[in-house]
Structure 1
Amino acid sequence: MNLKLKLTVLSFLQFFVWGAWLITIGVYWFGTKHWGGQEFGKVFATLGIASLIMPALAGIIADRWMNAEKLFGILHILYGITLLFLPSISTPENFFWIMLLAMMFYMPTISLSNSIAYYILKNNNYDVVKVFPPIRVWGTVGFIVAMWITNLSGNKDSGVQFYIAAVVALVLGVYAFFLPKCPPQNLIPANASLSEKLGLNAFSLFKDYKMALFFLFSMFLGAALQLTNMYGDTYLSDFGKIPEYAESFVVKRSTLIMSISQISETLFILAIPFFLKKYGIKNVMLLSMFAWVLRFGFFAYGGPQGIGLGLIILSCVVYGMAFDFFNISGSLFVETTTDYKIRSSAQGLFMMMTNGFGAIGGSLLSGWLIQTYFTLENGDKMWQEIWLVFAAYALVITILFAFMFKHKHDPEVVAVL
C-alpha cells in the first residue's frame, strides 16, 4: 500500500468513527431517551472539555516522547472501548461522564492525524498543499458513509450508533501501528528550561499578537460549528410534529439531508489549494465566516417542501465552505507560522481553541439560551428565531475578524509548504 493510500484510509476511518453518532445523537437524546436540553448542552460540551486538555497534551507527548502514530493508535483503541458502554447508560449524568472519557481519547486524534499526515508527506517530499486536501477529503467521505449507515440501518435514534463507531475505532487503532514511523522531533537539550522540558513552549505563541488573535477567532468559530452539530438533525426531525410533514423525506431521512453538508465538504476541500494560493489565508477564513452567516440564515427560513427545502439544501451546501475553509486553512496557517519543533503542540493548541473553549462556549450557552428563551411550554423549539440569532452572531464575528486580523498574503510561502 503506497503512502498516500495509507493516509487516505487513515483519514476515512478517523472521521467515520465520529460521524456514526455526532449528528444523530440529538435524535437519540431527545427522541429516545427524552432527556433535557440543558443536559444535552453539557454532554456536547464534553468535546470542548476534552479539547482544552488532551490535544495540547497529546501534541506535547508526540513532539517529545512517543511516536505520533503509536499514540494515535492507543487513543483510538481506548476510545472504541469506552463507546461500547454508552448504549447501556440510563441517566444523563452517567452518560455525561462516559462521553467525557470517550472524548478525552478521541479529540486529540484529530490534530494528531494532521500532524502524522504532514510529517509523512513532507518526509517523502510531497507538496502538502496539493496532496493533503485530496487525502483529507476522504475523512469527510468517511463521515458521510457513517451517517448514511446509521440512518439507513434504522439506528439514528438507537444506541447501536455507538457500537458502529466503537468497532471501527478499534480497527483504526490497530491499523495505526502499521503506519510509517513518526518519531518525536523536539528532543530535550541538556540546558532546557522547565517549560521546555514539560513541552509547554508552544504556549509562547500566545505572546504573538497575530497568533493570539487567530486562536481567539478560532474559538469563536468553534462555537458556531457545535451549533449545527448539536441541533441540525433535531431541527429537521422536528418538522415531523407537523402532520403534513410527518412522512416527508426530510423527516424520515434527516441524516441523509444533513449529509449534503459533508458531501459539500469534499468539493470545498479540493478547492482549498486554489483559493489559498490566489486569495490568501485571511480571505479564505473570511469566506468561511460569512458562509456561517448563510448557513444559519438559510436554516431559519427552511422547510420540508418547495423554496424551504431549497434553502435547507443551500444551507447544507455552504456548510462545506464554512467548515473547511477555516479548519483546513487554519491548520495550514499553524503549519506555516510555527517552528517545526512545536508543530504538533501548536496543532493541539488550535484544536484546544476550536473544539475546546469554542465547543464549551457554544454548547453550554446555546443550550441555556434555547432552553430559556426559545423553548415553548410544550417543549417545542422556536427554530427560526434560534437560527437567526446564530446568524447574527456569525456576522459580528466576520466583521470583527475583517478589521482586526492583519495578514499579508505570500503565495511563495503557501507554494513551498
Structure 2
Amino acid sequence: MSENVQAQVKIAPPIRIKLSVMMFLEFFVWGGWFVTLGTYLAQNLEASGSQISLAFLTQSLGAIIAPFIVGRIADRFVSAQKLMGVLHLAGGVLLLIASRADSFGGFFPLILINMILFMPTLALANAVAFRQLQDPGRQFANIRVFGTIGWIIAGLLIGWLGWEQSHNLQLTLVMAGIAALILGVYSFFLPPTPPEPSDRSGWREILGLDALSLLKNRAYLVFFCSSIAICIPLAFYYNFTNLYLNEIGVKSAAAVQTLGQVSEVGFLLAMPLLIKKLGFKKTLAVGMAAWALRYICFGFGDTGALFFLIVIGLLLHGVCYDFFFVAGQVYTDRFAGPGLRSSAQGMISLATYGVGLLIGSLISGPIVDSFATGGGHSWLGIWLIPAAIAAVVLIGFYALFREDATTRAKATETAR
C-alpha cells in the first residue's frame, strides 16, 4: 500500500477516540441488562417462560419500528448524533424506572418503549461512524470492535459483582440506565452528522421493500427464507441461555457468556478467508451447523466433568453469528449490486431481527414452559428442540441453495 493510500485510511486520533467510546457505551448499555434479562425476570419477578419470551420480543418490535425512526427523522430532519442523544436519555430514564418494577405487568411496557427507543440507536451509531470515516471498509471494524469490548466488560462486571447469585439483577438495569444517560449526554459532543440528501422518498425504499425483486431469484429466496427460519433457534439462545446457566449452577454466568463475544472477534477475522476457500454456500452451512451443535453441547453439558461442552457451546457463538449473519450480509451486498445494496440490507435485517426473532420468541416461551419442573427446567429436552430446528433448516438450505458463480467470484475478489 502506498504512503498516499495509508494517509487516506488513517483516522484522526480525537475522532477515533470519540467514535470508539461511542461504540463501547452503545453496546455496554445493551449488554448490561439484556443478557441477564431472562434470569432477572425469573428470579425477581417470577415470570414464566412465555413472559420472558414476550420481554425479549420487544427487541424484534424495536427492529421493525427502527427504520421508520431512522429513515424518516434522522435522514431528513435531525442530526444523527442529536437524535441518538435524545433517544438514549429517554431510554436511560425508562431503565431506571423499570429497575423498580415489582411485577411483570409493570415492567413490560417500560422495557417495550425502551427497546423501541434503543434499537434505532444502533443504526444511528453506525451512521455517525460511517460519516467520519474516509474508508469504512478498512476502518469501521477497528471502531466497531469497541462495541464488542463494551458488551464483554458489562458481562464481566456483572459476574464480578455477583448480582446473579445474590438475586440483585435489578442493579443491571440501574447500571445500564446510568450508562445510557452518560451516552445520551456524550452524543451531543460527537462529530456533527446532519441529514444528507437522499432519493429514498417512500416507505417502500426505507424499509428495503424495493429489494423484494431479489426474491425472484431462487438462490436468494432460499437464503432469505433460511435466514428467517434460523432465527427461531437463535431466539432460544438470546432468551434463555443465561437462565439455563444460572439454573444449572454456573457461577458468574454473565461473565462466562462473554466467551461468545471473544470468539466472535476471532472468527470474524477468519470469515473472509473461509468465504474465499469455500464460497458462500458452505460458509453459511457451517454457520447453521454450528447452531445445531451448540444446542447439543448445552443439552448434554453440566457443571461437572462435561462443563467443557458448555464452554464449546458458548465459543461456537462466533461461528454461529459470523459465518451466517455477517457472511449473509456480505452475500446480500454482493448479490444485490450497487442499485439495491442499502435496500437489501434493510430488508434482510427487518426479516431476521424483526420477523424471524419475533417468531422465535413466540415459539420458544411455551416450549420452555412445557419443560418446567419443580426446581427449574429439563434443559436437555429444551435444547434438543432448537438443535433439531437448526438441523432441518440446514438440510433444506443445503439441498435447495445454488450459489451463483458471479457472486462467488465477487466474494473471492473482496476477500483478497
Length-normalised TM-score, structure 1: 0.84
Structure 2 equivalent of residue 74 of structure 1:
86
The 5 Å alignment of 1:10-409 reads 10-121=22-133, 124=134, 126=135, 128=137, 130-156=138-164, 157=167, 158-188=169-199, 196=202, 199-200=205-206, 202-209=208-215, 210=217, 213-240=222-249, 250=250, 252-306=251-305, 308-336=306-334, 346-372=344-370, 374-376=371-373, 378=374, 380-405=376-401, 406-407=403-404, 408-409=407-408
| Superposition deviation, residue 285 in structure 1 | 2.6
1:70 to 1:347, Cα distance in 2 relative to 1, 3 A: farther
Q: Is the 1:141–1:266 contact (alpha carbons within 8 Å) kept by the matching residues of 2?
A: no
Secondary structure of 1:285's counterpart equals helix
Distance (whole Å) between structure 1 residues aligned to residue 255 and residue 400 of structure 2? 38
Query: Does the CA contact (< 8 Å) of 1:115 and 1:344 recur in 2?
Result: no
Higher-RCO chain (CA-CA 8 Å, sequence separation at least 6): 1
* Cα offset, 1:198, TM superposition: 7.5
Task: Write the letter of the residue equivalent to 1:18.
Answer: W
Shift, 1:165, TM fit: 0.8
For 2:58 and 2:396, locate their aligned partners in 1 and report how far apart those are by CA, in whole Å: 28
| 2:33 counterpart SS class | coil
Task: Read off the aligned partner of 2:225 and give its amino acid letter.
Answer: L
* Number of aligned residue pairs: 395
Give deviations 1:188-233, integer Å, cap 9, x for gaps.
5xxx9xx638854731112221555544333223333221121112
- Structure 1: runs of 5+ lacking an equivalent: 241-249
Query: Structure 2: 5+ residue runs without aligned partners?
Result: 1-12
Give 3-state SS (helix, strand or coil) of 2:210's partner: helix
Q: Is the 8 A contact 1:261 1:318 kept in 2?
A: yes
Moved more, 111-120 or 145-154: 111-120
Q: Match of 1:246?
A: none
How far, CA to CA, are the matches of 1:310 and 1:146 in structure 2? 23
CA distance in 1, matches of 2:190, 2:269: 24
For the 8 Å contact 1:276–1:414, the answer to whether it is kept is no
RMSD: 2.9
Q: Is the 8 A contact 1:69 1:181 kept in 2?
A: yes
The aligned amino acid for 1:227 is F
Structure 1 pair 225/5, CA: closer, same or farther in 2 (3 Å)? farther
SS at match of 2:365: helix
Deviation of 1:264 after TM superposition, in Å, equals 1.3
Q: CA 1:339 to 1:205, structure 2 compared with 1: closer, same or farther past 3 Å?
A: same
Cα distance per residue 1:133-167 (max 9 Å; x no partner) = 34323222111100111222232332110111111
- How big is the shift at 1:177? 3.3
The CA distance in 2 between the partners of 1:197 and 1:258, in whole Å, is 38
Displacement of 1:83 in angstroms is 0.9
Contact 1:76 1:172 in 2 (8 A): yes
Query: Secondary structure of the residue that 2:408 maps to in structure 1?
Result: coil
Report the secondary structure of 2:52's partner residue.
Answer: helix
Amino acid at match of 2:269: L
SS at match of 1:292: helix
AA paired with 2:247?
Answer: D
What amino acid sits opposite 2:388 in the alignment? A
Is 1:13–1:172's contact at 8 Å kept on the other side of the alignment? yes
For the 8 Å contact 1:55–1:351, the answer to whether it is kept is no
